[in-house]
A and B are shown apart, each in its own frame.
Chain A
Amino acid sequence: MSLTLAASSAPQNVAFGIIAVVMCVAALGVVTMKNIVHAALALVMVLAGVAAQYILLQAEFLGIVQVLIYIGAVIVLFLFGIMLTRHPMRKTGEYDNDQRILAGLVSLLIFGLLAYLLTDQFRGDKLHLGQPTQTSAIADSIFRTYVVGFEVVSMLLLAALVGAIVLARRD
């Protein structure tokens, strides 16, 4: 499924806009909701939105991978984690700590900086979206140019796997 948008990009902008708004709201929800499960679900929405943006950017393989891994595995992990670490007696208490205000200020500051920088630098740059990226091109890139990185990531995954098991086993 590819959206052939050769001539105009107006539908793209609109789609991007809607998805972006949803993502932002969901993101805010992650960091502010009082119910932790609700926060996890909000995260799901963000991740789905990200996948949609990938497809909009003609990165179809990545979008599929995003859904598979993030929404499929990571969220499940999170939910398991939430479940396992709930304090039975405690009610869903406060999830925000004392430095909220300072944190808010800092993040606003950084956002302001980033926004200024990015717009200042890339104003007027236009994306020209052509054909969707070929998966084979990505595969080529991985297994040729970035094969070392690929191997390292494999190692990393292995280590993470082993580490997680070692850490979490009950003894």
Chain B
Amino acid sequence: MAEKAWLIPLLPALSFFVILFFGKKMPKGGSESGIIAVGTSFVLAVIVAAQWIKDERIVDQHLTWWSNGKAHITIGQHVDGLTAMMFLVVTFVSLMVHIYSTGYMHGDVRFTYFFAALSLFTAAMLFMVMADNLLQLMIGWELVGLCSFMLIGHWFEEKNNSSAALKAFFTTKFGDIGLMLGTITLFFAAGQTFHIETINKLALEHGALSHGLVLTAAVLLFLGVMGKSAQVPLHIWLPDAMAGPTPVSALIHAATMVVAGVYLVARVYGVFWSGFSIGNGGLNWMAFIAGLTMVLTAALAFVQDDIKRVLAYSTVSQLGYMVAALSVGAWTAGVFHLFTHAFFKALLFLGSGSVIHAVHSNNMSEMGGLKKYMPQTYWTFVIGTLALAGIFPLAGFWSKDEILLGATKNGYPYIFVLGLVGAFMTACYMGRAVILTFHGEYRGHGHPHESPRSMTVPLLLLAVPSVLIGLINAPGVLKFAHWVRFEVPGVEFEPPEHKFAVPLAAFSFAVAVAGLAVAYWVFYLKTAPNKGAFARSPLRTVKHVLVEKYYLDWLFVTVVVGFIKGPLARAAYWVNQNVIDGVVNAVGVGAKLVGRFTYDVIDQKGVDGIVNGIGVSASETGGVLRLVQSGRVQQYALMLFAAVGLLAAALILFT
């Protein structure tokens, strides 16, 4: 079956075309095609995963569809544990989102279009995770970026939405520059091939590639990761992307697309391991960025009123955790966190969607006390929160704990500390969110009610793995670490693994509980904080900075873009008009001058002078010689005789 793994992306792709051409005519507006396709893909993914667990055989095949000398451009598939895991995640979450959307997007003006885009996105994501070469990965990467753009701007009638879509697109595109350059670097470094296994092998072999080259490629690829997986400072697009419909946020901006960057690092790990010298500990560029991301964005989650934005910043923070894990060498931990996070974050987003659908508002200031109106939503949301905060024995606990373990054991204290701080903050802001949304008094104006079954069933279905899935990698079981591991055939390399440390686990658990307690204390017991005291304290400045999102948006929009639009554009225009056009004009004027000079001096005076001169001199000579003809015969006779005499004399003298 693994050889037929290419069917998994193919089915949603076919669904895309079916919905595009026939969707409007179908009874459910195209959604049934999407659900059937993704559902079937999910089944196939389960089969593939089962086969992998059984015989652990890596499938790496490709077809060459274009070649040019030494370079072969291929399309292929690489099926191993990581691929199977991603298949499962993507198809399952996508299926949940599809079902959810039939309820959420009901009556939407572009219902069919939405499902077509969802199918295309699923197909592209699956295509990407199946890739055996960097070019194919990049194609999938770009395609999911396109779908993200389409879906964020789904309600493009409002300017904010289309602006958010553009912001997402441009920011990730900026990162894609790095991806492209990194791919090119690796292509040439590996001897004109895009094949990932080959690249990993060469990167890990001592001395096969120069370290500087690998480091350059790693840094460039990481730029792509920063864009797509929203690392600081390119994270700015993700909170704004919440302008799209909530199912989109759940699928794309929580579970699947944003983890594409993490997946890239995990897949091409040999390059990153060698390039950033991860085994040496201390600090590397990737870890530095990830550490900042973990904490800074968590802080931002505290000052958001929009519930989706809280979750968005939470997602960015958790992406920071995943990248941090990979940057300290805890490969399995990072991938495992990706796996668990997909489930509970999707759950949280869909739950928030349910709330928004009921209250017709995103803002928590208009919510409150919804616990009694929407019990299913409430309890599933709580489960998601606990999983995210890292409460034993839910999923997030296991994965986050492994990250911290890896950080400290591999010699990255910086990440360890930041990870703990981040964990505290995560628990705290999520507690705030829950309390503000579901507890207290209802502050809104609508009539909140529980959501329809099409929306609550996926919530329940997602809650199950949020609780249980962590146990796959519990100590003693460790199945995940076994099934999903990083290996490159032909190279002796394994990312470091560590035994479960109880003291550390207990400590991180305590931190999470403390976070929740603080949230309870601040927001529940003191639901009306002392505004005066807060306003006068220095924390106000901190809050202001947070609200302004560290002035990053101002930096990018006003400073960077403004500079390009203003002075840089003007400078370029000046160069064009004066320098380039000046050169061209000067050439033209010069040619004209040369032409005029040639005409006036050379042609008119010179050449014509010569020609006329010949004529004039002939005529002048004639004029002079004419005078010889006086008409007088005797003169002619004289000349005749004189000539005869002289000639004769000459003859006599010289012969």
Contacts and interface: CB of A to CB of B under 8 A. Distances in A.
Task: Report A-B touching, CB under 8 Å.
Answer: yes
Contacts of B641: 106-107, 110
Interface string B615-641: 000000000000000000011001001
A102 B638 contact: yes
A113 interface: yes
A31 interface: no
Nearest to B644: A110
Given A97-B634, A99-B634, A116 B652 contact: yes
Contacts of A106: 638, 641-642, 645
Contacts of B638: 99, 102-103, 106
B629 to A, nearest CB: 15
Nearest to A114: B648
Contacts of A113: 645, 648-649, 652
Interface in A99-126: 99, 102-103, 106-107, 109-110, 113, 116-117
A103 B636 CA distance: 11
Contacts of A99: 634-635, 638
Q: Interface residues of A toward B: which range? A: 10 to 19
Contacts of A97: 634
Contacts of A107: 641
A97 B634 CA distance: 9
Contacts of B648: 110, 113
Contacts of A102: 638, 642
Among A103, A106, A110, max chain B CB count under 10 A is at A106
A131 B645 CA distance: 38
A113 B650 CA distance: 10
A117 B653 CA distance: 11
A95 to B, nearest CB: 12
B166 to A, nearest CB: 109
Nearest to A111: B645
A116 B635 CA distance: 27
Interface in B137-190: none
A49 B119 CA distance: 146
B641 to A, nearest CB: 5
A117 B645 CA distance: 12
Contacts of B634: 97, 99
Nearest to A113: B648
A97 B5 CA distance: 131
Nearest to A120: B652
A102 B638 CA distance: 8
Contacts of B635: 99
Contact of A117 (B642, B644, B646, B652): B652
Contacts of B642: 102, 106, 109
A109 B641 CA distance: 10
Nearest to B651: A113
A34 to B, nearest CB: 18
A154 to B, nearest CB: 29
B643 to A, nearest CB: 9
B655 to A, nearest CB: 12
A107 B434 CA distance: 146
A99 B641 CA distance: 13
A109 B652 contact: no
B68 to A, nearest CB: 97
A10 B590 CA distance: 100
A99 B132 CA distance: 118
A110 B634 CA distance: 17
Nearest to B632: A97
A46 B640 CA distance: 26
A3 to B, nearest CB: 37
A57 to B, nearest CB: 27
A136 B195 CA distance: 136
Nearest to B647: A113
A63 to B, nearest CB: 30
Contacts of A103: 638
A143 B441 CA distance: 171
Interface in A116-144: 116-117
A99 B637 CA distance: 11
Nearest to B637: A103
A110 B652 contact: no
A103 B638 CA distance: 6
Contacts of B652: 113, 116-117
A10 B338 CA distance: 160
A103 B637 CA distance: 9
A122 B559 CA distance: 123
A97 B632 CA distance: 11
B352 to A, nearest CB: 133
A59 to B, nearest CB: 29
A39 to B, nearest CB: 17
A107 to B, nearest CB: 7
A116 B649 CA distance: 10
B642 to A, nearest CB: 5
A107 B634 CA distance: 14
Nearest to B646: A109
A99 B649 CA distance: 21
B645 to A, nearest CB: 4
A117 B646 CA distance: 14
A116 B634 CA distance: 27
Nearest to B641: A106
Contacts of A117: 652
Contacts of B644: 110
A113 B641 CA distance: 12
B616 to A, nearest CB: 32
B234 to A, nearest CB: 112
A59 B649 CA distance: 34
23 contacts: A97-B634, A99-B634, A99-B638, A102-B638, A102-B642, A103-B638, A106-B638, A106-B642, A106-B645, A107-B641, A109-B642, A109-B645, A109-B646, A109-B649, A110-B641, A110-B644, A110-B645, A110-B648, A113-B645, A113-B648, A113-B649, A113-B652, A116-B652
Given A106-B642, A109-B645, A110-B644, 8 more contacts: A99-B635, A106-B641, A107-B641, A109-B642, A109-B649, A110-B641, A110-B645, A113-B648
Nearest 8 A/B pairs, CB to CB: A109-B645, A110-B645, A106-B642, A106-B641, A113-B648, A99-B638, A106-B645, A103-B638
